[in-house]
Structure 1
């Protein structure tokens, strides 16, 4: 059922999702628009509201406010067989063998049992897991059982795959297998939406990301958009040391000398003027590296800004209460 995505084609459109648990607002007007055929990451600290947002998006729980539509406007319950979902809480029947567990999960989404067993063997062979095809779940490691459940979530070839913290608990080898599987499913035409608080996976995989902190969406865009929120980092080693004050005069304010190299931040527009000053200074260049901050740095920057705002609000509330 997967077709060529149009210019404004979204597999997921969630608008203003809000959820209260008692007096606590777990999700605060979160909106997501996931382009068809993309890999989209929902990032955030533990407890930020990622899981609740995904569950409302899929219609597993109802929002107190807001709406969610899939595949151009359909309600989630009407298209359940087109979705593959790996929940944060893993769970398989321990007495089942891997092949049967995968086929069973496919059957719950309308896949023929024998076809499910055939596809299960194909997936596990492709991922190098053929040795445990007929192993019971109870005899598997936690990570291996998690891979089985992941395969079971996609064995029916869904158009939309939603993975809640899929990398949690996996060793590096199985993390690599999972990344390969995600890319394979995207190449098939599926849309992948996953949550994580591990930035390295999002940086390698995602076409677009949303960052949720303190229950609300704080950023949406590409990984490069997020990284561009911070200035580039420069490491400069002069050919001749000279007087540090003289070298520093040609560098941005705040430049620090660590060993024989200078470290400082710089905006994109200042790169060429910097190079001209260094060239004209006569100190020369032994080493010069200019790098964009990682997604991890941008994520920490955004979350800390949000936390600082909340701390400021709490301080103001305390002052008002004390003076009342």
Structure 2
């Protein structure tokens, strides 16, 4: 948004708003003030249940006023049901419609087990660019299943439609998988047409598709959606490159290059030229063993136990004597 002229006031709270003619003065808690033509309060909605007379029933409510229901949409008062935005937690029209249909099927359609499943509901933020998401995020997956069981695939690219444009907004995609079978439990897209793409992939997540199912799907080219079925997890060396590097290491390397009149980009180009000329790496490649692979996965996930590149390097160079080499 800042690239389009939108000013973001981060970590700021509005203390008061004053009218000055046709303008509004918005005073912040950091001493600043903003002059605006219009002020929009976008802090969510409250359930409109004040006139329903719920106080004369056994229906229970949360402090925010939402009606408390069980998994069958039943309240604490017999024969009173509630669904949709007045119950939360997913305040979306299609969710309310789906919940109403399940309740109707159970009460009047003879489907005794019909109930709404609130897991893996696709959601879209119609921003610019749009954001599409379904399932668990990376943090939620780690909290629910543990770091060791979660594998995350990421892709960042510029949509082909911007190939000849100076404006090159990035598209971001992420797949969150769990377990040895790599079941996809989360799919997240930020970029053009994310709102359209996420609907189809939500079906795959809902059905319990695995990463192997995604990999076996033939990509449609050229599209942005093909990135979701061509993602690959590179254990090395990308995991090392993406590991958190101590600032002291960055500074030392930059200082050495600067003394030679080179930048990091220059050094990278020289290394690539040497590889192309010698048809070999300018250093001895390492054969990954199981310890190496686990270290790479830890770096890729950003586990707190892996705090620096130096720790990764020590594992790579020393390894675990008990580990048998894994064929690359």
Which band: TM-score by shorter chain? under 0.3
**Which structure would you say has the larger Rg?**
2
